[in-house]
Amino acid sequence: MGNWWLARADIKKNGKRVGWKRLAFMRPKIIGDKLEVEIVDLNEIFKKKRFTINEVEVDREKIVAFRQPYHVPKPNVNARNEQATCLHCNNTIRYIDPTTGKHYAETKKLPKSLKEKLVWYVRYALGKYNEGDSSLAKPKLLVKVKVVNKKLLFEPCTEDDQTKLELAKQEIERLLKIKDPDISLEPIPMYETRRITPILGARRWYQFFNPRQLLTLVKLIKLIRKASKGIEEEKLKEGWSKEEAFRYAEVVTTYLAIALCKHIDYNFLCNLWDCNIPKISHGLTMRGIAMMWNWVDVNPLADFTGTWIRTLNQCISGLSYLVSVVSGSSSSTLFSDDRRSSEQKASVLLDDATILAKLNPKESFDLIITDPPYYDDVPYVELSDFYYVWLKRALSDVESGHLVPRFLPEAFFKKVGNRWVEVRTQWEEYAKREVGLNPPRLGPNATMENGLRHFQNLLNLSFVVMSSKLRDDGLLVTYYAHTDPNAWKALLKAGWEAANLRITNAFPIATESAQRVTARGKLALDTSIIAVWRKGVEGLISVDELYSLMVEEASARGAELFSRGLIGRDLVIGTLAATLAVATRYKEVRDVGRVDVDTLVNKYVYPATMKGIIRAVAKVGRVSEEVKSSPAILYVLVKVIMRGAKKKNLTSNDAIMLSIGTGADLNEMVNRFRVFTKGGGEESRDVALTLLEPQSLDKAKLEEFLARRWLNTIEPRLRCSVDALHVLEYYALTLPLEEFRKRLEDLRAKYPSYVEEALAMARIFARVLPEKDVEKTLCSRVVERLGPSVLEFLGR
């Protein structure tokens, strides 16, 4: 069991938890040698529709309801540590030697030769189950969930329920024996261990289902096939031509098959019961298929998330929308007498993007939009076989125990001479043509380097082909879900270097609203970015000249975006777009020789973008000299980009991007300069760094803050200008004017450059930070207290 919770659904108001609407969990109950479960349903126990947070306290493993404690059992399996606990005897389950069947709970003292043979018992047992031996492991039904009057009811499963699973298993065994072609025996790509979990011990696609799920699925496939024939016959009877009737049946069956695929995404062994909603989560949520220790098995005919009926209805509404968009009316059928002009028809071609052989060679386009894969982000080919093997069955016919082409044959069969030969899986047939990074696709000995080269080659090819299809004044639009510098490099290599296109603009898809940044407190620059490309690169430029041009453009664009109130990724990506537009205008950037894309991005594009933003805020803050040191640049950037957020957190990708852009060493920023602390704590695991900034105008709190930054206020020893700034802010808050000035002079005598930069930052912050940032108030005080001599020192 990975999770004993059945419902842990809270009630939120304005993002804050104010109560609980459903609280229920399971408890194991051992009766003789049998495991049963007991359901603890707090709504039932207390006869309450909902609870306020004062009535119950809910923790991971404990609930206290009206002062009464309830303990939710811990998961009894921990795959990462290869450990499990027996629910019957509480013993630890660890490793088995498959050659002797002996179990080992401890391996430290064992000889190496034995250790190498050991397999985690759970993995071993699941593997055995998948080989047909269910003496060590088998699925067990624990709880039934019913929807009655829109309310979820939980009931323990009975022996009868379990029997149904057993009966289904017998039926599946029979179908396997008679080699029923509707059971997908196709192999799973065993090399794809990152996104397809190996722990289930499954080697063939049908093994991702329990017998009842599988039997239902096979039955639905057979019904869809039967329906497709019925539809065709019906249309023929109505007097349609053979061709029309066939095409109509093809269309309807295709959508039935699509709905079926969506349904299986909610009805296989990797579905999670999401107790927080509560509902079923679809199995490919994490862009992969991951082992779930408890899964959900849903009645296809129920009206609930992910059932066959629901997915079918969703398909119908999606289709109605598409038809209405294409034809202007949702009521027109696809095969009505053609009331539409030919221009309104959309044609859809499925083709290899690196070749685009199906397009008319004379045709060119005004607009091409593409969403290319990124590195190894998703192994599309391997994952989509999860659906493919079922789509193939729903859309093909069966003759003499074999699948034969019926609908869309070119998707599931290939022509060899005059014969159609079945494509077993996509991964076996097409993996090498996918624009993606997955070295084992190239062979068992392929290295990461081989994989990277392959990915870049295919990405380049696809851009070159697209460019050849683009009119001279046409636009190519790319969607790309990464700000990771490597992602940009790959894209620039393909679009700019290989296909000679230039970027003219870029936008983040999810734009930032002030509330979002404030509420989330996270930069999370990882977002889809739309880049707009055009033809027309020309000439050479020296890298130094290019760098100054980029900084100039970036600061102009940065200032414009900043003045329009843009923050977060809007500001960063918008400015980056300006930098890229300058860089990609030229055919070649030269230093001693040609500057490659890696160098260009790392040493020039990102730094120019960051410098541009810094210049932009200095301009808005009317400060003439620049903030130059790395800690100060980083501090100003984060304060400005995330202005408004109470806590300023960076994900690791954001941190990497800022560090490349500023040349700052992040370890040094944390351990030496103490500008950031590591991590965001329990609540935000994806946070790598949190900015340390003053949060209060209260003297004691400010002292606490300085202590967190390892700064002492009496004899401060400054490590950087951010220290100078914070100490000056403290003095400005706590000391009378004369005293402040004296301390300022003392500091300046000791640390002239730190103080100079700190005062520049104070000026910027006093002008550009929002009112609610206390550092704005602190900096305004610093600036107010600067006498004429200081202003003179600053050169104005």
Ligand X SMILES: C[S@@+](CC[C@H](N)C(=O)[O-])C[C@H]1O[C@@H](n2cnc3c(N)ncnc32)[C@H](O)[C@@H]1O
Residues forming contacts to ligand X in the complex (CB under 6 A) are 352-354, 371-373, 380, 433-435
Question: Least Å distance between CB 547 and ligand X?
Answer: 32
Query: Closer CB to ligand X, residue 300 or residue 373?
Result: 373
Among 716, 728, 707, 635, residue whose Cα is nearest residue 675: 635
In this complex, which beta carbon is closest to ligand X, that of residue 352 or of residue 686?
Answer: 352
Nearest distance in Å: CB 384, ligand X: 7
Quote the least distance from Cβ 461 to ligand X, whole Å: 8
> How many separate helices (H) and strands (E) can be counted in the chain?
26, 30
Nearer to ligand X, 395 or 459 (CB): 459
- Smallest separation (angstroms) from ligand X to the CB of 201: 27
Q: Residues 532, 506: contact at Cβ < 8 Å?
A: yes
CB of 775 to ligand X, least distance (A): 40
The span from the CA of 662 to the CA of 633, in Å, is: 7
Considering the complex, what minimum distance in angstroms separates the CB of residue 391 from ligand X? 14
Q: Which is nearer to ligand X, 65 or 431 (CB)?
A: 431
Minimum CB–partner distance for residue 254 and ligand X (Å): 17
Specify the residue, 372 or 661, whose C-beta has the smaller distance to ligand X: 372
Shortest separation between residue 77's beta carbon and ligand X, angstroms: 33
Nearest-10 crossing angle of helices 211-237, 380-395: 50
Q: Is 469 exposed, middle or buried (0-12, 13-18, 19+ CB in 10 A)?
A: middle
Helix (H, G, I), strand (E, B) or coil at 241: coil
The Cα–Cα gap between 385 and 391 comes to: 9
Of residues 354 and 653, the one with the C-beta less far from ligand X: 354
Nearer to ligand X among residue 218 and residue 465 (C-beta): 465
SS3 annotation, 86-143: CCCCCCEECEEECCCCEEECCCCCCCHHHHCCCEEHHHHHHHHHHCCCCCCCCCCCCE
Cβ nearer to ligand X, comparing 20 with 533: 533
Cβ distance 52 to 33 under 8 Å? no
- What is the C-alpha separation between 94 and 105, in angstroms, rounded? 5
Q: Any residues with CB less than 8 A from the CB of 140 and at least 6 apart, and which?
A: 35, 162
Residues 282-307: b if buried by 16+ CB within 10 A, e if exposed: bbbeeebbbbbbbbbbbebeeebbbb
Q: Which three-class secondary structure state does DSSP give residue 169?
A: helix
Distance separating alpha carbons of residues 220 and 651, to the nearest angstrom: 45
Exposed e or buried b per residue across 236-260, where buried means at least 16 C-beta atoms within 10 angstroms of its C-beta: beeebeeeebbbbbbbbbbebbbbb
Q: How many CA atoms lie within 13 A of 383 on its CB side?
A: 22
The least CB distance from residue 525 to ligand X, in Å, is 18
Task: Tell me, rounded to whole angstroms, the distance of Cα 506 from its chain centroid.
Answer: 21
Transcribe 44-87 into DSSP letters: HHTT-S-EETTTEEE-SSEEEETTEEEEPPPPSEETTTTEEE-T
Q: What is the smallest separation between the CB atom of 457 and ligand X, expressed in angstroms?
A: 11
CB of 311 to ligand X, least distance (A): 17
For ligand X, give the closer residue by CB, 426 or 651: 426
**Three-state DSSP class for 521?**
coil
Nearer CB in complex with ligand X: 284/778: 284
User: How far apart are the C-alpha atoms of 512 and 514, rounded to whole Å?
Assistant: 6
Q: How far is CA 309 from CA 155, 259, 306, 387, in A?
A: 23, 9, 8, 18
> Between 302 and 532, whose beta carbon lies closer to ligand X?
532
**What is the phi-psi region of residue 66: left when phi exceeds 0, alpha when psi lies from -120 to 50, beta otherwise?**
left
Q: Tell me how far, at minimum, the Cβ of 442 lies from ligand X, in Å.
A: 15
Contact, 26 vs 4, CB < 8 A?
A: yes
In the bound state with ligand X, the residue whose beta carbon lies nearer, of 435 and 627, is: 435
How far is 401 from 403, CA to CA, in rounded Å? 7
Q: How far is the CB of 371 from ligand X (least distance, A)?
A: 4
The residue (of 353 and 494) whose beta carbon lies closer to ligand X is 353
